């Protein structure tokens, strides 16, 4: 099994006719993802390499039965694109776009929660989600991930950082460890899907046996996740927090990665996770090695 997306997920690409949308939409299709439609009000009736383009998400859902949408729309249009996807009837929205204003994110997070409580948003500013061998939505290179296998010990990954996620997938693959699903939740201030949402889903997924978590300085999402792990997660977890030596008050690329007033420091996050029983590595490689040990222990 996988969480959130699998081989049955049919995906619409909002922005498929743009350069980024086309590039990744076709790569995702090559991977095996069911890329069933694109949207563009000005290009309805045309196609992108055989993928039909509709005027709106609602039209695309009606024609294809799509259940998910992936947004490659420039930041200025993301607020309306997210609402169009929810109103159009998909239940899972992946927003890859970076640079979305925080006010827009706060608004559509709360709007979805209120009016579309069954819709899950992933992102914005995230690499997307991959259930290896089944479905890849977003910008992750599919071949760096190994498929989960029945009977084997499989890992689920949840991460705030793109490149570190790829590194985790790759290191597990080199060790022969399969991944059920790898979720990139993104580094923005108001992520649609949180660590806790993913931990809960991995805990409930019978094929996921262990979880790898990659956090970052700033905010308190990792501390909240630690609380949740303590009370509700029985599966073993390894973790890494990036930014242990980032100077206070400096913004390091990700809008979310800001340390201020002693809160949100890597040390505080690592301590909270360790206290909840998580094996925390000092660097990504060490976190990977800790996961290999966990998997070996579970497989023994």
Partner 1 sequence: MDLMEYQGKQFFASFGIPVSPGGVADTVDEAVAAAEAAGYPVVVKAQVMVGGRGKAGGVKLANNVDELREHAGNILGLDIKGHIVRRLWIENASDIAEEYYASFTLDRSAKKHLGMLSAEGGVEIEQVAVDNPDAIAKIWVDPVDGLTDAQAREWVAAAKLNPQAVEGAVAILKLLYTAYTEGDADLTEINPLILKPTGEVHALDAKVTLDNNAAFRHEWAEFEATQERDSREQAAHEADLQYVGLDGSVGIIANGAGLAMSTLDVVNQVGGSPANFLDVGGGADAEKFVNALTIIDNDPLVKSIFINIFGGITRGEEVANGIIAALGQIDISSPIVIRLDGTNADEGRALLEPHLGDKLRMEPTMLDAARTVVALANA
CB 10, CB 20: distance < 8 Å = no
Region from 3-11, 36-44, 60-68, 137-145 binding partner 1, contact rule CB under 8 A: 137-145
CB 110, CB 79: distance < 8 Å = no
172 in contact with partner 1 (CB under 8 A): no
Report, in Å, the least distance between residue 227 CB and partner 1.
11
Residues numbered 97 to 116 that lie near partner 1 (CB under 8 A) are 99-103, 106-107, 109-111, 114
Helix (H) / strand (E) containing 166: helix 162-174
Region from 1-9, 53-61, 195-203, 219-227 binding partner 1, contact rule CB under 8 A: 219-227
189 in contact with partner 1 (CB under 8 A): yes
121 in contact with partner 1 (CB under 8 A): no
275 in contact with partner 1 (CB under 8 A): no
CB 178, CB 133: distance < 8 Å = no
Burial class (CB in 10 A: 0-12, 13-18, 19+), 203: middle
Decide whether 102 or 204 has the Cβ nearer to partner 1: 102
Q: Are strands 92-95 and 51-54 parallel, antiparallel or unpaired?
A: unpaired
Rounded-to-integer distance, Cα 213 and Cα 155, Å = 10
φ/ψ of 212, rounded to 5, equals -115, 135
φ/ψ of 130, rounded to 5, equals -135, 130
Q: Are strands 120-122 and 128-131 parallel, antiparallel or unpaired?
A: unpaired
Contact residue for partner 1 among 1, 6, 26, 27 (CB under 8 A): 27
Residue in 254, 256, 270, 295 annotated catalytic: 254
Chain positions contacting partner 1, by CB under 8 A: 24, 27, 75-76, 99-103, 106-107, 109-111, 114, 139-141, 143-144, 159-167, 170, 187, 189-190, 214, 216-217, 219-221, 224, 240, 242-247, 250-257, 261, 266, 282-285
Q: Which residues are catalytic?
A: 254
């Amino acid at each position: 099994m996988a969480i959130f997306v699998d081989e049955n997920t049919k995906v619409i690409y909002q922005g498929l006719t743009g350069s980024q949308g086309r590039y990744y939409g076709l790569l995702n299709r090559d991977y095996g993802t069911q890329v069933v439609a694109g949207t563009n009000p000005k290009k309805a009736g045309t196609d992108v390499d055989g993928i039909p383009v509709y005027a709106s998400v609602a039209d695309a859902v009606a024609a294809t039965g799509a259940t998910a949408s992936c947004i490659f729309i420039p930041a200025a249009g993301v607020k309306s694109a997210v609402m169009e996807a929810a109103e159009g009837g998909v239940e899972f929205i992946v927003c890859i776009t970076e640079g979305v204003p925080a006010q827009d994110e706060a608004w559509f997070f709360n709007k979805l929660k209120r009016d579309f409580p069954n819709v899950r948003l992933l992102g914005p500013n995230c690499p997307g989600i991959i259930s290896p061998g089944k479905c890849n939505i977003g910008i992750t290179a599919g071949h760096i991930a190994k498929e989960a296998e029945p009977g084997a010990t499989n890992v689920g990954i949840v991460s705030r950082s793109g490149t570190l996620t790829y590194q985790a997938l790759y290191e597990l693959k080199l060790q022969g460890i399969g991944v059920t699903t790898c979720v990139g939740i993104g580094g923005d201030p108001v992520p649609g899907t949180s660590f806790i949402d993913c931990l809960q889903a991995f805990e409930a997924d019978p094929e996921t046996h262990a979880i790898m978590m990659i956090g970052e300085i700033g905010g308190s999402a990792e501390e909240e996740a630690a609380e949740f792990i303590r009370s509700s997660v029985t599966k073993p977890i390894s973790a890494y927090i990036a930014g242990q030596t980032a100077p206070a008050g400096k913004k390091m690329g990700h809008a979310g990665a800001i340390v201020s007033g002693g809160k949100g420091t890597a040390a505080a996050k690592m301590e909270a996770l360790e206290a909840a029983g998580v094996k925390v590595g000092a660097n990504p490689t060490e976190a990977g090695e800790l996961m290999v040990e966990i998997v070996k222990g579970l497989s023994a």
